[in-house]
């Protein structure tokens, strides 16, 4: 028995009209981008760099517990800002319209072991095109988890709560391995592929650079505070990794977020692509500070609909997008951070176990388009 498709009530004409209405929202923001938006990202970058500099300065005295706590907290926040609101969004091309070579997706490099160009390919080109399509979107379970009841269960899946926890703790390294598609490239023949070897070397260079900066140079500069600074940096990276993993999990994996079969996107129209983003994403509700610290990925639905719009505009866009959900009688999956984290982890644990006998499948049957235009992505 298969669950009811939550989009089954929509006609093909309604889906394409929905696409046109979403295009209009996007066009309105693009036409309105300007100096206020540019000033925002420049201010955020300046604040992040100042916070990181001050925090590392405080850690020079981290042999004293109050300095350790203050410096570690500041460095944790600075690293989150660098990855979430700054790096992730710049690498999406959200600020390319400024024509500032220092704040551009082609030149930006972030505080992360995954090289920017590799991340852009796996994330921007693959994940955002094939959002939540099993076998096409590697973000869906990162290749190490069962993400749908229809996937065959193996005893290996019993360990997926542990794999997910370890992935959270060392998330930046997990992302680097995922960008390399390390799992499928472990066999001897693939390892010898020149393209893979070049990408692996690039990751190795980036890891060495990050390790040297975080665990050698800055601790050495602290002199007597070498070990406390080392511990502070490790803690800040751990906090950043767990936070980033949690935010991303909440955007893709809570109960109620749909997954899709490959055949369902054959001939996908623009309206159908938009609809898949709406049904394959979830939001986090909360304060402005929470939205900022998530890199505005708390507006994951809006981000998946419009990945190249400036992140500071997602809050205003969300009001219009939610109105369209209501108009077309679709479920806008959202909730506070603790609720969404619990929901995502509940799904991880539930799918680590074999399906209960005679239990109906929770995955909807997704419409197959009647015509076959080219796949559309934005």
Write the pLDDT tens digit of every residue in 253-289. Answer: 898 998 888 888 888 999 999 999 999 999 999 999 9
Per-residue confidence (pLDDT) for residue 272, from 0 to 100: 95
- What does the alpha-carbon distance between residue 284 and residue 290 come to, in Å, rounded to a whole number? 9
In the predicted structure, residue 360 carries a pLDDT above the cut 90: no
Model confidence at 5, in pLDDT bands (50, 70, 90)? confident
Buried b (16+ CB within 10 A) or exposed e, 5-35: eebeebeeeebbebbebbeebbeebeeebee
- What does the alpha-carbon distance between residue 249 and residue 355 come to, in Å, rounded to a whole number? 22
Query: pLDDT over 90 for what percent of the chain?
Result: 72
Per-residue confidence (pLDDT) for residue 139, from 0 to 100: 66
Segment 149-155 mean pLDDT = 86
Name the β-bridge partners of 3: 364
Segment 63-78 mean pLDDT = 98
Per-residue confidence (pLDDT) for residue 365, from 0 to 100: 41
Give the residue, 187 or 14, on which the prediction is more confident: 14
CB within 8 A of 244, min separation 6: which ones?
80, 83, 84, 171, 172
pLDDT digits (tens, 9 = 90+) for 344-355: 999 999 999 998
In the predicted structure, residue 181 carries a pLDDT above the cut 70: yes
Segment 140-148 mean pLDDT = 74
Structure tokens at 204: 């190795």
Segment 104-110 mean pLDDT = 96
CB within 8 A of 99, min separation 6: which ones?
none
Give the residue, 152 or 93, on which the prediction is more confident: 93
Give the residue, 182 or 206, on which the prediction is more confident: 206
Per-residue confidence (pLDDT) for residue 246, from 0 to 100: 96
In the predicted structure, residue 199 carries a pLDDT above the cut 70: yes
In the predicted structure, residue 377 carries a pLDDT above the cut 60: no
Mean pLDDT of the chain: 89
CB 203 within 8 A of CB 121: no
Model confidence at 188, in pLDDT bands (50, 70, 90)? low
In the predicted structure, residue 233 carries a pLDDT above the cut 90: yes
DSSP state of 122: I
In the predicted structure, residue 333 carries a pLDDT above the cut 90: yes
Nearest Cα to Cα of residue 207 among 180, 247, 245, 244:
180
Structure tokens at 107: 């030149």
Per-residue confidence (pLDDT) for residue 136, from 0 to 100: 79
Model confidence at 358, in pLDDT bands (50, 70, 90)? low
DSSP state of 133: B
Helix (H) or strand (E) holding 168: helix 160-169
Segment 199-209 mean pLDDT = 94
Segment 230-243 mean pLDDT = 98
Question: How many alpha carbons fall within 13 Å on the CB side of residue 206?
Answer: 22
Per-residue confidence (pLDDT) for residue 135, from 0 to 100: 76
**Model pTM score:** 0.90
In the predicted structure, residue 88 carries a pLDDT above the cut 90: yes
Per-residue confidence (pLDDT) for residue 19, from 0 to 100: 97
Least confident span in 233-247, 294-308, 348-362: 348-362
3-state class (DSSP) for residue 196: helix
* Residue 2: exposure state from Cβ atoms within 10 A (0-12, 13-18, ≥19): exposed
């Amino acid at each position: 028995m298969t669950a009811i498709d939550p989009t089954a009530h929509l006609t093909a004409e309604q889906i394409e009209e929905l696409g046109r209405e979403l295009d209009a929202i996007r066009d309105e923001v693009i036409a309105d981008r300007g100096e206020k938006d540019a000033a925002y990202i420049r201010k955020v970058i300046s604040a992040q760099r100042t916070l990181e500099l001050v925090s590392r300065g405080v850690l020079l005295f981290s042999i004293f517990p109050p300095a350790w706590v203050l410096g570690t907290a500041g460095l944790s926040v600075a690293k989150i800002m660098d990855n979430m609101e700054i790096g992730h969004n710049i690498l999406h091309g959200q600020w390319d319209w400024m024509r500032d070579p220092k704040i551009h997706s082609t030149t930006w490099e972030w505080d992360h072991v995954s090289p920017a160009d590799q991340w852009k390919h796996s994330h921007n080109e693959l994940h955002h095109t094939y959002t939540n399509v099993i076998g096409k979107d590697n973000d869906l379970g990162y290749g190490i988890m069962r993400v749908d009841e229809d996937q065959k269960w193996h005893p290996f899946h019993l360990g997926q709560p542990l794999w997910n926890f370890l992935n959270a703790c060392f998330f930046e390294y997990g992302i680097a391995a995922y960008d390399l598609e390390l799992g499928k490239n472990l066999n001897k023949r693939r390892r010898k592929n020149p393209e893979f070897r070049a990408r692996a070397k690039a990751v190795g260079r980036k890891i060495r650079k990050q390790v040297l900066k975080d665990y050698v140079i800055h601790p050495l500069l602290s002199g007597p505070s070498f070990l406390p600074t080392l511990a502070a940096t490790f803690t800040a990276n751990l906090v950043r990794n767990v936070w980033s993993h949690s935010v991303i999990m909440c955007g893709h994996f809570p109960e109620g977020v749909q997954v899709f079969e490959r055949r369902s996107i054959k001939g996908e129209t623009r309206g159908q692509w938009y609809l898949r983003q709406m049904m394959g994403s979830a939001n986090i509700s909360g304060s402005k500070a929470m939205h900022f610290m998530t890199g505005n990925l708390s507006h994951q639905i809006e981000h998946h609909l419009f990945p190249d719009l400036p992140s500071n505009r997602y809050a205003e866009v969300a009001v219009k997008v939610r109105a369209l959900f209501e108009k077309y009688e679709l479920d806008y999956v959202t909730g506070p951070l603790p609720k969404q984290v619990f929901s995502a982890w509940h799904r991880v644990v539930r799918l680590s176990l074999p399906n209960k006998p005679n239990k109906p499948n929770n995955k909807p049957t997704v419409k197959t388009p009647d015509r076959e235009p080219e796949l559309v992505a934005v």
